[in-house]
Amino acid sequence: MSFSPYGPQPVLIPPPRGAPENALNRVPQITEFGRIGFKQDELYWPWFLDTSSTGDIAVADTDNNRIQVFNTHTHSVVFPPYGVQGQGTNKGELLAPRSVKYSPIPELHFTVADTGNRRVVLLRINFKSGCLEEVGEFGRTIFREPSDVSCDWRTGNMYVTDTSLNKVTIHNKYGELVSELRPQPQRPFYQPMGVAVDENGRVFVTDMGNNAVKIFDRNGDFIQEIGGLGTGLGQFNRPKGICIDRKGYIYIADEGNSRVQMWSSDLKYMSEIITSTPMPKGVAAHNQLFVTTGDQYNFVKVYNM
């Protein structure tokens, strides 16, 4: 267990007179897919995932060193899995990728945090072959442990968390380093993990070692921090994945507390919506909620929203 060396934890708790009425608004699980294994459609310790505008689900199949994209209805793969174990010297090689995200940039369909190779890989769909193909990469001389990447559709900028270097870098659509997010000096990042960008360009980072979520504007300036170490409503224990749905609701995988929390776009705690998933890692939303788990079965669990 990691604890922050940077002083007292800020604690965000519900109002003194009690939690919101829907504070325990738990949603039912409806199905799951991706049983443990090495074959197509199977997963081995998956991490972060994302959904497309049509609802297809891209999953970082981390310990299989590949990316898989599943149909939202059939849960079968849309494309052949992309990636084989390797040091990234040849196209198609990945090493323990933790994240895959859909990209809003034209001619670029996916961004992959290729964690073991210390880089971000850019993929597109080859519609003639029906396969994913690499079109670029960046960050080998910048990153030590890239864990997640997210794009701002307005600017094309990409935000990358580096868990070992305790920073989040900003890159343009070509992968060139532009800047970094700037937390408060007295509360620097400690093991930043997940990152998401909302419709207004705000950047949300799960600051795992500080058991908090930090929020920034698109230029990298600090806005606010929510959370704090604990098991209470609105508190976190090693938060990992984060996503934002079309209505602006924020979902956070609170791994150490084995739950998923829901927050409003104005940064108010709303509810604890999932408590039946052991050690959730990744979370994605599109009509339904998709969660990767830390149990031995390696399923992606699907919940009604």
Q: Assess whether pLDDT exceeds 50 at residue 11.
A: no
Token pair 């990358």: residue: 160
Question: What are the pLDDT digits (tens) for 31-83?
Answer: 899 889 999 999 999 999 999 988 899 999 999 999 999 999 999 999 999 99
- In a domain, residue 2? The reply is no
The torsion of the CA quartet 55, 56, 62, 66, rounded to 10 degrees, works out to: -160
Query: What is the tally of structural domains in the chain?
Result: 1
Q: Which amino acid is at 200?
A: N
User: Which amino acid belongs to residue 43?
Assistant: L
**73-106 confidence digits (pLDDT tens):** 999 999 999 999 988 888 899 999 999 999 988 7
pLDDT, residue 249, reads 97
Range of the domain at 277: 29-304
Cα distances (Å, whole numbers) of residue 105 to 61, 99, 122, 140: 23, 17, 11, 22
125 domain residue, yes or no: yes
- Rounded distance between C-alpha atoms, residue 118 and residue 217, angstroms: 26
* HEC readout, the chain: CCCCCCCCCCCCCCCCCCCCCCCCCCCCEEEEECCECCCCCCECCCCCEEECCCCCEEEEEHHHCEEEEECCCCCCECCCCECEECCCCCCCEECCCCEEEECCCCCCCEEEEEHHHCEEEEEEEECCCCEEEEEEEECCCCCCCEEEEEECCCCCCEEEEECCCCEEEEECCCCCEEEECECCCCCCCCCEEEEEECCCCCEEEEEHHHCEEEEECCCCEEEEEEECECCCCCCECCEEEEEECCCCCEEEEEHHHCEEEEECCCCCEEEEEECCCCCCCCEEEECEEEEECCCCCCCEEEEEC
Quick one: pLDDT at residue 6?
A: 33
Tens digits of residue pLDDT in 17-31: 344 545 666 787 888
Asked whether residue 4 is assigned to any structural domain, the reply reads no
Residue 98, domain CATH? 2.120.10.30
Residue 12 belongs to some domain of the structure: no
Q: Is the pLDDT of residue 193 over 90?
A: yes
Direct distance between the N- and C-terminal alpha carbons of the chain, in angstroms, rounded to an integer: 31
Is 17 part of any domain? no
The reply to whether 22 falls in a domain is no
Rounded-to-integer distance, Cα 254 and Cα 242, Å: 9
Residue 15 maps to a domain: no
* Average pLDDT score over the chain: 90
27 or 281, greater pLDDT? 281
For the entire predicted model, the pTM comes to 0.90
Range name among 2-6, 214-218, 237-241 with the lowest pLDDT average: 2-6
Q: Residue 85 domain-assigned?
A: yes
- What number is the average pLDDT over the span 287-297? 87
Phi, psi of 4, deg, nearest 5: -70, 135
